[in-house]
Amino acid sequence: MKKLILFFIFLQANLCNVTATGKTNTYVFLPEQSSVVQTGGFAGIREIHSIAGRFHLTVDFETGMASFDQVNATLSESPFLYTQSLGVLFNMTELAGTVTSDTEISFIGKTAEAYPVDVNLVVTLRDSSVEMTGRTFPPCCDFFIYNLDAVALEFTKTYYVDAVNGDDNNDGLNPKTAFATIQKGIDNAADGDTIIVFPGLYTEIINFLGKNISLKSTDPTKSHIVKSTIISGMVYFRGTEDPSCTLTGFNIDGYINGFDWEIDPNGVNHTHATISHCVLENFITGCGRLIYACDGTISNCTVANIGYMCLRPWPAPAIVGCHGLIENCAFVAVSDGIEVLEGGTCTIKNCILYRNTWAVVPSGATLNIWYSNFEGGRDRIWGNGIVNWGPGNIDTDPCFARLGNWQAEGDYHLKSQAGRWEPNSQTWVQDNVTSPCIDAGDIYNPIGHEPFPNGGLINMGAFGGTAEASKSYFGKPVCETIVAGDVNGDCRVNFLDFQLTALHWLEDNTPPPPPLLLSPPP
């Protein structure tokens, strides 16, 4: 039935010139690389006109349709042009667009002149730009032929939000004219735009409205900034967002929902947005789900001390139906656990699940879990679904800097004798023990921004791969001199360093084999 409906939409659009639906991007022409060459006419002239301006391009890969929705671009002035409007010259908004491949779109149609002639344009999609070529044929407009050759970059804006100094009557386009609320920024943003949020308390319900935008704190890599940028309320996604939509660096005192109940009450569509460097800590979920239907990557997040209070006789797990990748997260005292829904697959790696956090995998569901510290081990996963356990899983005390409770938030950096980041003092401190979760992550994962000495292997937990990752300890004082070829920072250059280098040459997205690493030297 769905295919029949899509076919009808496609047929209707081609017969009735209905504008395509899909993802819309704004592009800006590069004048030095964009021109229309005008040749012919009664005088046999040849002129080159540069192009300046922008256009909106909508592409729907599902229906195979595309359209120019707006073309606000002009050609350089000339007495031989009957119009300086690029859109009028090629009648662009009236052309029928067909997606011919993952990167190419063909537009065909007629000019809007009294004696219309054919227009053929081809748009080639790049990562953040497009190339456009085309021509009119046969000669139009006093027997002129127009050849188009242009390059345009994707146009994006950055908006700012400041709960303390902002005002929703501002334009939001710089820190001094910031909005006061996050939702105002989202309402104004378009696909590809970025919203930067200053530290403060934002008591509001946030809805991404299906927009593929980047919403982030001023510095998501710094835990004290994240803790100070607080969203107190619900965060909704529409369910249609792709991985380019990001939520990064917030202390969220509320729920994250991967679809909009009012539009999609049954939750058919799960968002594929990317969620990272967020903290959800110290509150009661009631009968609700804390993070629900988020099928994109969830990484470097801390979820801790989440209680459950509801009159229903059965529990409602806190993390439900997130059928994507969950990596480098810490789930601590999440009393109602993680549930994979029937028909879904969840992959957990480099994570720490501690203090009565469990998982449910019912029939028809699949859970992959490796290189994670799971208290209670395989016995803490219930249900009749498929569980792919290992390699690299452990069951031990992760040695967090400080476990939280209902009176105080915790600090989920890992203890280390070589050095642990202390967010309150903004300094490195040394502990009398070293966490077994240091250097215990997926051997195929890059170490990212982990500080030296880092063992050449990523840490488990929410700070693995970040600049606040705890340092590796080799049973002796930290090596103060960086030695060429010493990949893991143990002050020696040996076969272990060669192994680590070779492993990262072989990085891919397939499940890793059992570890082959030698033990570090004593």
- Residue 490 confidence (pLDDT): 57
Last residue of a domain, one of 128, 154, 180: 154
Residue 487 inside a domain? The answer is no
Average pLDDT, the chain: 87
Residue 13 inside a domain? The answer is no
Looking at the fold, whether 225 and 360 belong to one and the same domain comes out as yes
**What is the domain-level CATH number for residue 75?**
2.40.160
Looking at the fold, whether 121 and 228 belong to one and the same domain comes out as no
Residue 467 inside a domain? The answer is no
Q: Mean per-residue pLDDT for 370-383?
A: 95
- Residue 391 confidence (pLDDT): 95
Looking at the fold, whether 109 and 225 belong to one and the same domain comes out as no
Looking at the fold, whether 127 and 40 belong to one and the same domain comes out as yes
Cα 169 to Cα 356: distance, rounded to the nearest angstrom: 47
Between residues 186 and 498, the one the model is more confident about: 186
CB 412 within 8 A of CB 373: no
Residue 296 inside a domain? The answer is yes
Q: Strand, helix or coil at 323?
A: coil
- Residue 42 confidence (pLDDT): 64
Looking at the fold, whether 149 and 218 belong to one and the same domain comes out as no
Looking at the fold, whether 260 and 328 belong to one and the same domain comes out as yes
| Span of 6-15, 70-79, 377-386, 499-508 with lowest mean pLDDT | 6-15
Cα 378 to Cα 494: distance, rounded to the nearest angstrom: 36
Residue with tokens 């969620």: 275
Residue 122 inside a domain? The answer is yes
Residue among 174, 166, 192 at smallest CA distance from 182: 166
Question: 235: domain range?
Answer: 214-400
Residue 120 inside a domain? The answer is yes
- Residue 8 confidence (pLDDT): 34
Q: What is the pTM of this model?
A: 0.74
- Enter the tokens of residue 258: 């991967």
Looking at the fold, whether 117 and 245 belong to one and the same domain comes out as no
Is 80 exceeded by the pLDDT of residue 298? yes
Last residue of a domain, one of 377, 400, 423: 400
Is 80 exceeded by the pLDDT of residue 66? yes
Element (H, E) at 280: strand 279-284
- Residue 425 confidence (pLDDT): 94
Q: Tell me which DSSP letter residue 43 carries.
A: T
Last residue of a domain, one of 131, 154, 177: 154
Give the number of domains in the chain. 2
Looking at the fold, whether 147 and 264 belong to one and the same domain comes out as no
Cα 327 to Cα 445: distance, rounded to the nearest angstrom: 11
| Span of 134-143, 167-176, 305-314, 332-341 with lowest mean pLDDT | 305-314
Looking at the fold, whether 235 and 95 belong to one and the same domain comes out as no
Residue 219 inside a domain? The answer is yes
Looking at the fold, whether 229 and 128 belong to one and the same domain comes out as no
504 — pLDDT class (breaks 50, 70, 90): low
- Residue 507 confidence (pLDDT): 47
Neighbours of 153 (CB within 10 A): 16
Looking at the fold, whether 150 and 251 belong to one and the same domain comes out as no
- Residue 265 confidence (pLDDT): 86
Residue 502 inside a domain? The answer is no
Is 90 exceeded by the pLDDT of residue 11? no
* 82-122 pLDDT per residue, tens: 899 999 999 999 999 999 999 999 999 999 877 889 999 99
